[in-house]
Structure 1
Amino acid sequence: MKLLSCHIENFGNMSGRDFDFGKNPTALCEPNGYGKTTLAAFIKAMFYGLPTTRGKSFDERQRYLPFGGGKFGGNLTFSANGKIYRIERFFDKKSQTGDETKLYSGGKELPAPENIGKDIFGLDEASFMRTVFIDSTADMSGVTGGISEKLNKFVDNADEGGFDKAYGLLEKAQKALKAQRGGGGKINERNDKIKALEDKRRNAENVNAKLGEKYRERERLEAEIAQTEKSLKAAASLDGVYQQWENYERMLARASGAAEEIEKLKAKYPAGLPSEEELSALNAAATRKANEKSRLEASAFTAEKESRLKELENVKLKNLPDESAIGDCREKISELGAMRERLKSVPTAVAPAAEAKKGAKLPVVIIAFAVAIIIIGVVLAVTVNLLTGIIALVVGVCSVFASGFAYFSTRLKAVAAPAEANPEYLKLQSEITILESNIKGFLSGYGYLTESGAEADFNNLITDINKLKLEYTLLDGERKASEESAAHTRAVIEECDAETDRILNKYSIRVDGGLAETIKRLENYSREYAYYGKRLKELSAEAQNYKAEYALTEKPEGERKDTGRLSEKLTLLNKELTRVDREISDDEAVTEKLPSIVSELENERTLLGEDKKKHEVLGKAKEFLQKAENNLKEKYILPVKERFLHYSAALEEALGEKVVFDTDFNIKYERGGEIRSDRHLSAGQYGLCALCLRLALVDVMFTEERPFIILDDPFVNLDAEHMSRAAKLLNELAKNVQIIYFCCHESRDIG
C-alpha cells in the first residue's frame, strides 16, 4: 500500500495545499509551525475521521477547525491491492453525523465503509497510530521490557500491565471468591451461612414435624372425647334427659379447663389485674418518672457551687465593710482630694524682706541722663565734629551699662536671701497626713493597702465588693432556680409514684425485679387472662345455650348407670386437649418462619452456585489466558524477533554497535567484545531500535500489503554522526516500505 497524494482544502492552519508522495522516502523539512503535524493528522483523519466534540472538550475536531473558515477537509489518494483509491472527507464543526465521506476507485464512487481505516488496515485508530505513526514522544523505550509485553501493548492498546496484570486481576477475583488456603472468600462465607440456615430450617422442620403429631394428637383427643361422650350417652339414663344433662355437663367440663387457668392467675393476683388503660397509665408514669429523674440530675446545683455560695455567705461577705463605713471612707477620700488641691495653691515658703526689694530700684535718673548724652553725641557727630560726637556717645553708653550693672547686682542679692516656711502650708500638710493615715488604716484592715495610693486601693475594694455581691446574687439565684426546678421535678416524680402506687395498690401488686419488669409481666398475664376469659365466656355461653335449647332446669332422679369414671376421663381429656391447643399455637408461630428460612436458604444456594460458577469461569479464563499468551508468543513474538533480526544489520550500521538478543528477547548490544545492557544506549539510539521494532511489527501484522510509515521528527536526540547513519538506514528501509519523514531542522534532513 502506498500514499500517492493529498489535497488539503482547509485543515487547521493549512488551506489549498497539495502534497505528492511519489518519492520514497518522502522528506518534508520545514520549520516549526509549518504544519507537519497537521499534515500527519490530516492523513489519519482521511482514514479514520475525527471524533465528535463532547461538551466543551478541546479535541482534534476543535483543534484542526480551519483558522480562516471555509470547507473543513480535503482528499487523499492511495493505492492498495493493485487499485487506486481516493477518499474525500469534509467535516462538520462538531459532530460526526454532519461529516461527508466519499470513496472512489477508477473514477467511480464506491460504498464508503463506516470505518475506512479499519476496513483497509484491519486495525482500529489507536492500534494504527501505535503501528504507523512514530514521533519523538512515542513510547519507544520499551524494547528493554520484552517483545511479549510490547506486542501486547500494540495489540490490546494497553498502556501498562498486559498479560501479568490481566492474570493477576483474574487470580485476585478468584481468591476473593475462595481463598487457596484457609477458610476465606465469599464461597466459604456463603457455605457457613447456608449451614446456619440449614440448622434453622431443620429446627423449624422438627417443630413442624412434631406439629403434625400434635395435630394428630388433637384429632385423637377429639375422637376419644367424642367416643367418651358417646359412651357416656350410652351409659346414661334410658331417659333422653339424662343424655342432655350429660352433654351439658361435658360442656361445663370444657369450660372448667379455662376457668382453672383463670383461677391460677387469680391465685397469683387475688385482687385482679390492671386494665389495659391502667397498664398504659403505668407505662406512661414509669417513662415520665425516668425522664424527670434525668432532668433532676441535669439541673442539680453542684456541690462545688454550694460550697462557693456558703463561702460567700459565711466568710467573704461577712468580712466586708458595711455601707456606712464605705460611705465614710469615700467622704474622707473626697476630702483628701480637696485638701490636696488646696495645698497646690498655698506657697511652701514666705518671700524675702521688703527692704531688700526696695534697695534694688532701677536708677531711672542716671539712665535718663546717660540717654541724653548719647543723643547729644549723635547730634554732634553728625553736625559739628565726628570725634567729639563719638566721645559723647561712648560716655552715654558706658553710663547706661554702669547703671544697669548696679541695679541687677542689688536685685540678685535680694533674690538670694533665704525664704521662711509658710505656717499655713505646714498646717494643711499635717492635716492631709493625718487624714491619709486614717484612710490607709481603714483599707489595710481589709487587705487593700498597696503602693498605688488610697484612691486606687479604695476603688479596687469597691470593685471586688461588687464582684463578690454579683457572684453571690447569681449563685443564690441559680440555687433557688435549681431548688424550684428540683421541687417541681420531685413533685412530678411523686405524682408518678402516686399514680403507680394507686394502680398497684388497687390490685395489691408488689414490684418485683423492677417496675419495668413488673409492668411487662402484668401485660403478659393480662393477655393470658383475657384469652382464658374469652375462652371461658365462649364455652359457658355454649353450655348455657345448650341448656336453654333443651330447657334443662332440674336434673331428674332415678336409677342410672355410674358415669363418674367416664366423666372424669372426659374432664382429663378436655384438659389435655386444652394443653395441646396451647402447644399447637406456640409451634405454629415457629413454623410460620419456615418459608422465609427456606426461601433465604434457596437464595443462598443459588448465589453459592453462581459464585462457584464464577470461580470455575475465572479458573478457565486464567487457563485460556495462559494459553493465549503462549499462542501469542508462538504466533507473533518469534516472527517479530526474526523480522527484527532481519533489520539488525542495517540497525548495527546506524548504531555503530552490534545488536543481539538474550533468551527473554531483550535487546542488548556488543561493545569491546562484551555484551552490554541497552540502558547504556542514548535516547536517539533507542529511537532507532524502536523504529526497527515497529517495522518488524508491521511485517508480521500486515502479511499481504504493508502500510506506509509516518515519522514525525523522531531523531531529535541523535547527534550528527548517528543522524547520518539514521538517514542511510531510512533510505535503505524505504526500498521495502513507504516512508514519509517530517523534521524541523536541516541537520535532521534525510533528503
Structure 2
Amino acid sequence: MRLSSFKTDVFAGISKRQVEFDKGLNVIIGPNEAGKSTLIEAIYATIFQEARLRMNLGVDKDFKARFMPYPTGEYINGILEFIIDGEKYKLKKEWGKEHSTVLELPDGQILKNSDRIKRKLKDLFVFGRASYGNIVFARQRDVKQAVERIIGNDDIVHTVSSFLRKAVMELDGISVEHLRSRLGEEIDNLVKRWDLNNDRPDNPNRDINNPYKVGYGEIYEAYINKVSIERKMKKALEMEEQLAGLSRELQALEEERQGLKTEIEQMAEIENDVVKRASLEPEIKRLKEKTGTLKRLNREWPVRADELVRKKEELNNLDKSLKELSREKSRAREKARLNESRSILEKINRLKKEMQEKYQERQEIKQITIEDIKEMESYQDIIKRNKAAMEAGTLLGVINSACDQVILTRGLAEQEEIEAGVEFKADGYLHLVIEGIVDVEIKSGEIDFDSLRREYQLAQSKFDKLLSNLGVESINEARRKREDYNRLTSELNNLNQQIKGLLDGRKYEDLQEEAGKLNEMEFVRDEGTVEKELDRVNKERSKLLAEIKSLEDRINSWQEEYGDVDKLFELMVSIGTELKAIKGQLTGLAELPDQYDTAEGFNSSLTRLRKKKEELDDRFTSKREELRDIMAAMPEESYEELLVSRQDYRKRFDRLQKKARDLIKIRAVLHRKLAEMDNNSFDPLVDLFSRYLSILTAGNYQIGDVNNNFQLKIVNEKNSSLPVDINLLSFGTYDGVALAFRLALLEQLFKDREGFIILDDCLVNLDPARKKEAVTLINKFAEKYQVIFTTCNPDTADSLGGRVIEFTA
C-alpha cells in the first residue's frame, strides 16, 4: 500500500491544498506553522476518523475542537487516493453538520453506506487504527519517550528482545509490570472470601447467618449488605401488607356495620304491620293473579277469533296463487325452450355470415391445380439447368481500340452498346458487332449454345405465359394462392358441418318461426324465478296452516273452560268484589317495601340482618386488636425506602462481580500474551533492529544485549564480544535508537507487502556523522517502502533527495 494524493478544501488551518506522492521517498519541506503536521493529521483522519461525530465521546469532541475552523467553520474534508497491489482507491470524507463518506473502488463501484465502507477499509488497512497510529503515523517524540521509559527503569536488565517487546507495548502507553501488579491487587480486593465461579462465599457456612468479621473483599461485603437489606425488605413488606389488609378490612367492616344498623332500624319500625299484612297478602296475591289472567284472556279472546278468520282468508288467497304459479311455470318452460331455439338461430346466422365472407374471399382467388404447380416447376428446372450450363462457359473480353459504336450480345441477354476499354463478361455465347469493321460470334466449345438457348427461351416463354394465365408473378405466389384456396374450402366445409350439427335434423325455417313466438312471451318470468316463488308460497301456506291449527286449539280450550266471553266477564266482576273486601282490612297498615314480595320474606330478611350484625361486631373488635399489635411491631424504615437502598446494593454487587471477572480475563490474556512475546516471537524484529543499528554506526557489528545503563555489547566476525562506549552506540540521544526501532518494527509489520511511513524531522538532533548514516538508511528503506518525510530544514531536504514537495503557509 502507498499513498497517491491528498486533497482538502479546508482542514484546521490549511485550505485549498492538494499534494501528490510518488513511490519511494517524498520530502515535504516548509517553514514551521505552515501546516505540515496538520496535513499528516488530515490524512490519518480521512482513513480512520468516523465522519459522524458523536459529542458524547471525548475523542470526537477533541477532534472537532482541534480541527474544525473556529468560530464560523461549518465543515472540514479530506480526499485521499491510495494504491494497493497496483489498484487505485479514492476515499472522501466530510465532517460537520452534513457528514458523508464515499469510497470509489478500482472497478468503478462507489460505496456510500458507512458500515460497508468501514468493513472495506478494515480489510484494506489490515493492521487497524492503533497500529497505523502508533507506528506508521507516530511522531518521533512518542517513540523516543517509550524508549526512555524502558531505559529509566533500573529494576530491569534488558536483552534486546525484551527491550523491543516492552518498547512495542510502551507505544500504546502500557507499563507491563505496573499493570500486572495493579491487576493482582484489584482482583484480590474484590474476590477475597468470595467464590466467583459458584457465586457464593468461599465457605458456604459463612453466609448472612454467620458472616466473616474481617479479612473479606468488596464483593463479599456487597453480598452481605444486599442479603441483609433483602431480609429487612421481606419483613417490612409482609408487615405493611398485613397492616394495609387489616385497615381495609376494618374500613369495610365499619361501613357494613353502619349500613346494617340503618337498615335494621328502618325495618323494625314497620315490623308489626308487616306481620299483620303477612296473613292477608297471600289471598290478595292469589286473587290479583286470577284477575290478571282473566283480564288478559278477555282482551285476547276476540283478537284471536278475528285473527283466525283473517288467516283462513289468507289461506284461500295462497291456494289461488299456487294455481296461477303452476300455470306460469308451464309457460316459463316454453319460454326457455324458445330462448334456446333463438340462441341456436343466432349461432347459425353468425356461421352463415362467416361462410359468406369466406366464400367471397375464395371467389377472389383463382383456383390453381397441383398440375399447374408441377408444370411451372418443370419449366423452372429447364431454365435453371440451361442457365447453369451456359454460365459454366464464361467468356471475358475488352475492346482495346477506340470505335464509333460497339454492339454486344452476351449469353441469353439482349443487345447492348458498350465503350472501348470496358471489360465485359458473357456466359457461353458472345456476339460482337463493330459497325463497318467487324462482326464476330463466339461460342463456348463445351456446350451446344443454340440448342440450349432455344430450349431456355421456349421454357421461359411457357413459364411466363403460365404465370400470366394464373394471375401470379412467381411459383411461390402460386403455391400460396393454392394453399389459401384449399384452406378457405376446408373452413367452409367445417362451418357447414357446424350448422348441420346445430340444426340437428330441424329445418332452418322452423327455428325462425319458433324464435318469432318468443316476442309474445316478453313478460313471462324465467322458470327459476317462478320455482322460487312457488317454494316461498308453499312454505308460507304450511306456516299458515300451523298457525290456524294453533288458534283453533287455543279458542276451543277457552270455550271448554269458560263457555263464552260474557261468562268470562261475570267471573271477573265476582273476583273483583272479593279482592276489594280483603284490601279494606289492610287500611292503615305500613306498606311492604318494594324489594320484598311477601311479609314472610321481610321477616326472614330482618332476622338474618340482626344475626349478621352481631357477627360483624365480634369481627370488628378482633381485627382492631390485631391492628394495634402490628402497628407496635412495624420497622423504622418503609418497604419503599428499603427498595431504593436494595437497588443500590444489588447494582454494586453485580458491578463488582462483573469487574472481577473482566479483570481475571484481562490478567489471563496479559499472561498469555507476555508468554508468547517472550517465546522468541521478537527474533525477526531483533535481527532488523540490530542490522539498522549497525548501519547507523557504520560498522559491521551485531548487537549482543543491553545492560542496565543501556550499554550495548557488540560481537565482531570472530564472535568476540566487547562493550562499546555509549557515546559511540547510544547516538548521543535516543533519536537513532528510536529511528532504528521504528523502521525495524514497520518492516516486520509489512514484510512482503507494500507499506508507507510518515517521518517528522527525526534527524534534527543527530550529529553530522549519525545524520549521514540515518539519511543512507532512510533512502535504503525507501527503495522498498514509501517514505513521507516532513522537515523545515532545506539542508535536510537536500541531503535526503527524493521527490521534494514545497509546503508553505
| TM-score between both structures, scaled by the size of structure 1 | 0.39
| TM-score between both structures, scaled by the size of structure 2 | 0.37
